[in-house]
Structure 1
Amino acid sequence: MNTKVLLAASLVAVFVIGIYGTYAVAFAQYMGNVGSEGQTGSYTLEEALEIQRRRVAAAEANPASGSGTPYLDAGGVVGASVIAGAVFGGIAGAFFIRGRSGKYAAMGRG
């Protein structure tokens, strides 16, 4: 009986979270700066396209800059993953080693 109630409550919770999740709407970023009285600036689509053209031209002029994501750097994706793995792996290793001995370890093992 309790498992049926728990299953039904869990199912209702999943549906309710799904319904409320649809209310989260992402709004597009406004173009331009907001003035002192709340009005938006005169940042038009043409100005935005011109800025993007300048960015593309600057990237083509300096191909050594790449995408800007240093994958093999310590501050990049792989470097940060290795450092995080080493830190958390060291902590997990310490817990595993300490767990093999002590007051609550199973008798006859280790």
Structure 2
Amino acid sequence: MNTKILLAASLIAVFAIGSFAPVMVAYAQYMGNVGSEGQTGSYTLEEALEIQKRRVDAAKANPASGSGTPYLDAGGVIGAAAISAAVFGGIAGALFLRGRSGKYAAMGRG
């Protein structure tokens, strides 16, 4: 394929995706409860600290609950990493074994 056409198409794609960026705006969360008219409540810093203190106390009272992240579960961190390593490792191993034989393999290497 012509390199100039490929470069032009990729630049057009980058600028097209960049034009959608102003549409996707992230808004910061307001402190407090939002009323029916959109007004925010009176959720002060002291109330937020009290709620966080209650959460820490509840976690200390029940240490078996943990952080809630299932590390050894298949849907957790280590489980997902192990599944990904098995899938991508299998694909890499298959490609490695296929690359050692065939029409373009170096002569005398197996």
What is the match of residue 16 of structure 1? none
Note the C-alpha offset of 1:47. 1.6
- Structure 1 gap ranges (5+): 1-27
Q: Percent identity?
A: 88
The alignment of Structure 1 onto Structure 2 pairs a total of residues equal to 85
**What is the RMSD of the two structures over their aligned residues, measured on CA atoms?**
2.5
Determine the C-alpha separation between the residues in 2 that align with 1:52 and 1:66: 16
Q: What pairs with 1:2-81 in structure 2 (closer than 5 Å)? A: 30-34=30-34, 39-81=39-81
What is the match of residue 104 of structure 1? 104
TM-score (norm 2): 0.60
Paired AA for residue 61 in structure 1 = A
Taking a change above 3 Å as real, the CA distance of residues 63 and 108 of structure 1, as seen in their structure-2 partners, is same
- Structure 2 gap ranges (5+): 1-27
Structure 1 stretch displaced more, 35-44 or 81-90? 35-44
Structure 1 stretch displaced more, 50-59 or 30-39? 30-39
Paired AA for residue 56 in structure 2 = V
Determine the C-alpha separation between the residues in 2 that align with 1:102 and 1:40: 68
Note the C-alpha offset of 1:37. 6.2
